[in-house]
Structures are given as C-alpha cells and as structure tokens.
Amino acid sequence: MGQARDDNTPPTVQRVGVIGGGQLAWMMGPGAKSLGLELVIQTPDPEDPAVAIAQHTILAPITDVDATAVLASQCDVITFENEFIDCAGLQPLVKQGTMFRPGLELMALVLDKLHQRQFFQQMGLPNPRYVFLDGGEAPEVLLAKAETVGFPLVMKTRRLGYDGYGTFVVADRSQLTAAWQTSGRAPVLLEEFVPFKQELAIVVARSVSGELALYPAVETQQVNQICRRVVAPAPVSPAVMDRMATLARTLVNGLDLVGVMAIECFLTEDDQVLINEIAPRTHNSGHYSLDACVTSQFEQQLRAISDRPLGPTDLTCDQAVMVNLLGLDASDATHQERLANLKAIPQAQVYWYGKSPRPGRKLGHVTQCLRADADSARVAATIERLWYGAET
Ligand code: ADP
C-alpha cells in the first residue's frame, strides 16, 4: 500500500501525536512511513500494538491530560485512535495552541450516543426512534419511557459503549429492568429495534480545506452485536450506494471534520438508510482498504490531519471480504494454531495485532481480495471455519 505521490504542497506537519495505541494506531505505521511522518503515541501499556511502530511512546492512560500536554510539546498535531478521552480536560491545551484533528468539539459530541442522535436530528438525517435517560431515575420512569418506544427495544449505555459492550436487545419489561439495574442505572438510550435487512458502513475523509474522499460503502455483518465480517463494496443498489455517499458528505461537512470518520447505518426492507452511529477515526469497516484500495484509511487519516492532499480511494480489486479474528479464550496456543491455518490460505492477508487473548477481544483480521465472480460469502465462511470452528 501507500505508493509514494508527488504532493506539491510543502507539508508542515512532521510529527503526529496519536492518543491510543491499539491496532488502529498500529495500522497507521506503513502510511506514516510512506508519508515521512513520525508517530508519537500516548497509550498505557508497553505491550499495546502501536508501541512497536511508534518513534516514541508516552506511557499513560489516554485520559491523562498532563501526558497529552507532553505529547503536544513533541508533536505538530494530535489525532485519535480511541474516542474515550477527557475532552474538557484537553480544552486548555487548545488555548495554548495545540492542534487536535478532529477538533475537540466533534470528539465531545460523539462521546455520548444521545448527542450523536440529537445532531443527526438537527441535520434532518434519519435515525431510529429513541428516548433517553440521564441515569438514576426510578424504575417506573424507565418503564414509562420504554412503552413509548415499544418492545423489543435496544438499550444502549450512552457513554463508553463499544463492540456491542453496553448494547442490549431486550424483549420485555423485566429484561429491560434487569439490564438497566445491571448497568448501575446508567444514562441510556432506549431505541426502537430496527428489523434491518443489511447493515452498511462508509468511511469518509475530510481535509483541512474541506476536500472529501469517500470509500465505497460496505456491508457489515455482526454476530452478538460485534462486527464479524465486512464485504466491500456493499451488495446494494446504486441508489443505496448514492444515499450512503450523500449521507457521508452531509455529515462530515456538518461536523466540520478534519480526519477520517466511519458512519454505521441500517438498511430497512423498504431501502431506508437510518444512521446508527458515527466514529471519528479509522474503523473496522475500513480495514479492507489496507489491501483493497489505492490509499488505506490509515494513510488517509494521516494525510487529512497533516494537510496533505487526500489519496484516491478506488478499489484495486473487484471486491474484498474482511473477517475479524475475535478471541476465543485466554490461551495463546488456541489462537496460534488457527492463525497458522489462516496464513496458509494463499490469497489471504492476515493481520495479527499481538494483543493478549481474551474471549471476544479483537485480536486480528483477515482480508481477501476477490474477483467479481467470486462468492464472497463462501470465502468468508471458509476463513471463519478455520478460526471459529464448525459452529460459526
Ligand atoms: P457499539 O457502539 O457497541 O458498536 P452499536 O450501536 O453499533 O454499538 O450496536 C452494535 C450492534 O447491535 C449493531 O451493529 C446492530 O447489529 C445491533 N443494533 C444496535 N442498535 C440496533 C437497533 N436499534 N436495532 C437493531 N439492532 C441494533
């Protein structure tokens, strides 16, 4: 990936600070190299994947504002691979001249799923019906609000939910009450259950000057609320592809994004596109771009935040599938054996993040580029059988 390009504009940004050192930061490595950028990472654990590709690492939690002040003193711009930051705490750094891309206002908006939904509504963009709780209400209030949405419904903790953690599909009042009590009566959204026919996502980049680069919309398939596989491009009508692209443009312009954003959507039986959520960073649904697009989403993020021209987003193959490798248990041996089998697939690109295994943890992914006549579902099923076993 990342062939060298003649950029014309003299780049001023040379050192990029990244808050978060997981696999998303790790996969920025090759893009940074081809753009001649240095990465300085703020992450708590020396074992985190991105430590291996960073010029320098500040070992501190991502919410450690003092550590970010040090990061700022070493970098020209700071970006994010994890949105669970302390936005209010970082604000004084902006006054001192630190450049955060995306900006902190946008980062603050996405931290709360309610604020995301309110923004979509303000923009006139369709999203599922919902009500919200601020947390700590009496159980009767919870149930009265739930009745206005109807069952089944989806309860989501408003903050710090990811990979399906904090998302519960509940069938009735007693399940809802139990789930909410377990959450510690947290602030939540109660959302209509959308009987979608497909889930779609799109990654889009926007530069400082407002230049846009859209990747093709993809289909994502979830198992137990966590992304299992991605098919690119999404097997949907051109009209739906256009709607995804229009949505992406409207959203990132409205948010004044600088960087990369993923937008996750539901496609209903009658071809309505409803926005589920947005992530102001690179995303699982764009991992295929490392192997199947001219410019990966990771290089694109670096281009956008470092004032470089955005790269082309075209597919370099007819289609691609990406399968997530989720942890099966806590044993290294279980995973290494399966990994070896995946590496034996001739056309598969296997990414292994080197994280300690835990059930459900994202440990790696596999991408396979395909010709137009290939059966992507079969290819994905083969990969999944090798990893997850017979009952996938
Ligand atoms: P997270 O932020 O943890 O990824 P999401 O809101 O993306 O949570 O939900 C995870 C998955 O749960 C979605 O991809 C989808 O499969 C399912 N889901 C979420 N909201 C709804 C909904 N309103 N109706 C039906 N399924 C939903």
pLDDT tens, per residue, the chain with 392 residues: 334 445 555 568 999 999 999 999 999 999 999 999 999 999 999 999 999 999 999 999 999 999 999 999 999 999 999 999 999 999 999 999 999 999 999 999 999 999 999 999 999 999 999 999 999 999 999 999 999 999 999 999 999 877 778 899 999 999 999 999 999 999 999 999 999 999 999 999 999 999 999 999 999 999 999 999 999 999 999 999 999 999 999 999 999 999 999 999 999 999 999 999 999 999 999 999 999 999 999 999 999 999 999 999 999 999 999 999 999 999 989 999 999 999 999 999 999 999 999 999 999 999 999 999 999 999 999 999 999 997 55
CA of 91 to the centre of ligand 1 (A): 31
pLDDT of residue 10: 55
CA of 72 to the centre of ligand 1 (A): 35
pLDDT digits (tens, 9 = 90+) for 176-191: 999 999 999 999 999 9
- CA pair distance 317, 22, nearest whole angstrom: 28
325: phi then psi, degrees, rounded to nearest 5: -100, 100
88 contact partners, CB below 8 Å, separation of at least 6: 108
Listed residue (357, 358, 377, 355) closest to 368, CA to CA: 377
Residue 194 CB less than 6 A away from ligand 1: yes
Task: Pick the atom of ligand 1 nearest to 128's CA.
Answer: 23
Contact between 227 and 284 under an 8 Å Cβ cutoff? The reply is yes
CA of 58 to the centre of ligand 1 (A): 33
Residue 112 CB less than 6 A away from ligand 1: no
Sign of CA dihedral 156, 161, 163, 165: negative
CA end-to-end distance (rounded Å), the chain: 31
Residue 84 CB less than 6 A away from ligand 1: no
Spell out the domain ranges in the chain.
15-111, 129-192, 196-391
Residue 160 CB less than 6 A away from ligand 1: no
In sequence order, which ranges of the chain are alpha helices (DSSP H)? 23-26, 29-35, 65-74, 87-95, 104-111, 113-122, 139-149, 173-182, 238-255, 289-292, 297-305, 332-343, 376-388
Residue 264 CB less than 6 A away from ligand 1: yes
pLDDT of residue 230: 98
Which residue carries 């093709």 as its tokens? Answer: 216
138 contact partners, CB below 8 Å, separation of at least 6: none
pLDDT of residue 8: 55
CATH 3.40.50.20 given to domain 15-111: yes
pTM over the 0.75 mark: yes
Q: Which fold has domain 196-391?
A: D-amino Acid Aminotransferase; Chain A, domain 1 (3.30.470)
pLDDT of residue 9: 52
The CATH code of the domain at 129-192 is 3.30.1490.20
pLDDT digits (tens, 9 = 90+) for 273-312: 999 999 999 999 999 999 999 999 999 999 999 999 999 9
CA of 276 to the centre of ligand 1 (A): 7
Structure tokens at 249: 């443009």
- CA pair distance 4, 237, nearest whole angstrom: 34
- CA pair distance 134, 159, nearest whole angstrom: 11
- CA pair distance 378, 242, nearest whole angstrom: 27
Tell me how many degrees the CA angle 11-12-17 measures, rounded to the nearest 5: 110
